[in-house]
Amino acid sequence: MDKSNTNTHKQVSDDLAKLFADDFSEASAARIGKAMEASHAYADDFISGAESMQDLSALAEDADIRRLLDEPLQKPRRVWGKLATAAVLLLAAAVTFQALWLPQPGVTEDVQRYTTRIGEQKAVKLDDGSTITLNTGTEVLVALNDDVRKVIMHRGEAFFDVAKDPNRPFRVELGPQSVSVLGTKFNIRRHPEQFVLSLVEGEVALHPSTEAVADNAASLEATEGGEISMAHPGQRRITAGWVVTYSMAEQNLLASQHDDLSSNHSWTTGFLEFHEQPLSAVVNELNRYSGKKILIGDSAIMDIQVYAGIRVDQLDQALRGLERTLPIKVISDFDSILIVGDSEQ
Amino acid sequence: MVSMAQKIDNVVDISQRRRGRQEQVLKRLFDEHGAPLRSFLAARLGARDDLDDLVQDVFFRLAKLEDLGDKMIHNKGSIRAYLFTIGNNLILDAKRKRQVRDSYAQSKQAFDEEHAHQVSPETVVSHRQELQIVKNAIMEMPAAWRKVFLLSRVELKSYRLISEQLGVSVKQVEKYMSKALKFVRDAVKAAHSQEAHNG
């Protein structure tokens, strides 16, 4: 590498660090634009850097990277309780083991970690008879103790079919908030700052992770519009038919009541159905299951109506199928799949 | 106890919020990134009267990205990187279309010039391999840079959040990011030239 190349390389790194920063000025943008216009080498370097570094969240699936992320550097990460701390410490020591034994005076906790890669789905039968079905890109830790059945859900989406056991509540911890049940069916989709809970059957309690379930927690009451919004909801009982979105950042609850929630977990069959949905919405959903990013490169085709049944483990075939039935062309690139309009049809 | 009037207010508020959410997300993105994007495009293209259309086009494409809301909350930098790359691709697309309209000889020359520095066989490494290279670089990186890099690029946290979590200044976070980015990009370049050499 000659001197000017080395300088360009250093400059691009500095500029990318600026680009990803919280404060980024018009002046910085203009300077980068000018530099790109002036030098092809800089332009290529900068854009390929921006493109490849803009989102590496796929690496969160990787066990080694996960371990490095969970490893405390100066201040330990926020701790969600004894189990989480123990799991993190043990993960740091021995990631390769699927089952982790936690020796503690008088207590033995068997913690199982279950994950799915992007595009993978998996049903896990637990020893208590419950079944957890994991959707794409999901990670949960499970500990079945004598007094409580505990699941820590880090990310993704899962459908829970919980076996009845009145003496052992089944508890799903989602950071600061938990969902506790006795026996029921429900779906949880976790986002970094919020989660969506759909209750198909039975009843659950929503409560702060630091508190036990109170006997007198209030139920959600149906309103005329069928929707409820609440700041700081405290403890709430939630019955079948409710879909609850809880924002952890705002500690705000948004709930709506539905007659039929079956479509919320139809993904558990590995089959996605689209009835008269715009192509853009279909692509958004498929992207959750696709290792390569699927992009629409043509605004004219975004609103094409799509009817399709798609198996999530056969996305390539499904896209070929769409190409035959819709006026689109599917172009596979090394790191992405581009959908454009097909003018010849 | 929440009063009935308060509850009703909440319900009205929330149904309005639902309807307006998508528009709000876009509006906030535009407020935040519209001006930098415009000046980036202006610097690339010079003064033109279709700059606003181009900006709008970029946002239109951005609006169709998955998990836009989440990304926006966590990391403005990722959204900005998308905007800049989309903008740059639009410029290249437009150039290509113009070249098709132009005569063959002219277009071929311009096309060759433009592509000479772009996708050559040695730069095409599969996405999976690329991620593996990035991962290896991350594993070898000094711990402090690595932590910052992972929090920013894998967990998509803002520099401010990272600075709070690690107890260092925002400026320091940016410095570590620059070093980490250089480290990873060095590794990617080295792997590519190795590839070219071998094959």
> Which residue of B85, B124, B167 is in closest CB contact with A47?
B85
pTM greater than the 0.95 cutoff: no
Q: Are residues B110 and B152 in the same domain?
A: no
What is the spatial distance between Cα A87 and Cα A100, in angstroms, rounded to a whole number? 8
Alpha helices in B46-158 (DSSP H): 51-62, 68-74, 76-101, 104-116, 127-140, 143-153
> Which residue of A54, A284, A291 is in closest CB contact with B81?
A54
Q: What residue type is A74 in one-letter code?
A: Q
**Chain A to chain B, count of Cβ pairs less than 8 Å apart?**
213
Instruction: Write out the two tokens for A174.
Output: 């989602």
pLDDT at A202: 83
The mean pLDDT of A132-156, rounded to a whole number, is 88
Crossing angle, helix A26-38 and helix B4-45, to 10 degrees? 30
Q: Are residues A210 and A330 in the same domain?
A: no
Q: Are residues B103 and B129 in the same domain?
A: no
Q: Are residues B9 and B105 in the same domain?
A: yes
pLDDT tens string A226-243 = 788 888 888 888 888 888
Answer for the pair A187, A206: CB distance below 8 angstroms, yes or no. Answer: no
A214 CB-near residues (< 8 Å, 6+ apart): A207, A235
B45 CB-near residues (< 8 Å, 6+ apart): B51, B54, B91
Say yes or no for a CB contact (<8 Å) between A24 and B126: no
Q: Are residues B8 and B98 in the same domain?
A: yes
ipTM comes to: 0.73
**pLDDT tier, A5 (very low <50, low <70, confident <90, very high otherwise):** confident
More confident residue, B5 or A332: A332
Task: Provide the number of structural domains found in chain A.
Answer: 3
pLDDT tens string A245-297 = 998 888 888 888 877 776 667 777 788 888 888 998 899 889 888 888 888 88
Give residue for tokens 């990873």. B184
Q: Is B147 on the interface with A (CB under 8 A)?
A: yes
Residue B105 predicted with pLDDT over 60? no
Q: Are residues B112 and B125 in the same domain?
A: no
**What CATH number corresponds to the domain at position A327?**
3.55.50.30
Of the candidates A55, A39, A31, the residue with the CA atom closest to the CA atom of residue A7? A39
Q: Are residues A292 and A143 in the same domain?
A: no
Say yes or no for a CB contact (<8 Å) between B167 and A74: yes
Q: Are residues A74 and A204 in the same domain?
A: yes
Q: Are residues A129 and A198 in the same domain?
A: yes
Nearest CA in chain A to B183: A13
pLDDT at B178: 94
**What CATH number corresponds to the domain at position A153?**
2.60.120.1440
Structural domain boundaries, residue A154: 61-264
A174 CB-near residues (< 8 Å, 6+ apart): A153, A188, A190, A195, A209, A246, A248
Percent of chain B with pLDDT over 90: 14
Last residue of a domain, one of A243, A264, A285: A264
**pLDDT tier, B73 (very low <50, low <70, confident <90, very high otherwise):** low
pLDDT tens string B91-104 = 887 777 666 665 54
**pLDDT tier, B150 (very low <50, low <70, confident <90, very high otherwise):** very high
Q: Are residues A47 and A91 in the same domain?
A: no
pLDDT tens string A73-123 = 544 334 344 444 444 444 433 333 333 333 333 334 578 889 888 878 888
Q: Return mean pLDDT, chain A.
A: 80
Residues 18-77 of B with CB under 8 A from A: 35-44, 57, 60-61, 64, 66-67, 70-71, 73-77
